[in-house]
Amino acid sequence: MILSVKNLKKSYSDGNSTLEVLKGISFDLKKGSILTIKGPSGSGKSTLLSLLGTLDTQDSGDIIINARNLNEYDNFSEIRNNHIGFIFQFHNLISELNVTENICVPAFISNKMIDHNFLDTLFEYFELNNKKNAFPLDLSGGEKQRVSVMRALINKPSIIIADEPTGNLDENNALKLIDLFKKLNKDFGLTFVIATHDNTVFDIGHQKMELSDGKLLKL
């Protein structure tokens, strides 16, 4: 398994009361699979993805990525920089950087050498060869989201975590992004964990789960 989650619990406190957001989440995910997760707002989808992506820490339970238990790490940067790629609802591109520089930001942060052959492959694959030196303001919404996907891939991560990736796209660009995820999964064997409200996105999952009241239901 590329990812194993065991009895994951997370709560938040404001000093007067405690909100239990995740109540013992457990699942396994095989390499090269797509896991889609749905649930109403406030069900804990984003919290779960933040824990999987080491952006937050659980109260208890285990997250194991590539046979590495995250509880054994004091600093998650090595896991985050080398094993996880992020795609968000909003593109979060840096307006002062051109497309190539935006894509390479994760490599800069992790002090990795840029694999220029791989970068050229990405530009060809994503049909953005003519946008290498463009700036975010010059891109359409669909192009910005494709650049954000390329940015997630530049460090060749083990898992792609996507939180509402189509939430800021029109229907046409949303469908294109869904097709792109399926193609990336088929062509490169990429593993995805996707949280979504969009049933069309949800339906591409090899594994489908629903979060309800802090508990995960396999569908």
Domains of the chain: 3-218 (3.40.50.300)
Give the pLDDT band (50/70/90) at residue 219: low
- For residue 89, pLDDT over 80 is answered with no
**Does the predicted model carry a pTM greater than 0.85?**
yes
Q: Which has more pLDDT, 63 or 82?
A: 63
pLDDT at 4: 97
HEC string of the chain?
CCEEEEEEEEEEECCCCEEEEEEEEEEEECCCCEEEEECCCCCCHHHHHHHHCCCCCCCEEEEEECCEEHHHCCCCHHHHHHHEEEECCCCCCCCCCCHHHHHCHHHHHCCCCCCHHHHHHHHHHCCCHHHCCCCHHHCCHHHHHHHHHHHHHCCCCCEEEEECCCCCCCHHHHHHHHHHHHHHHHHHCCEEEEECCCHHHHCCCCEEEEEECCEEEEC
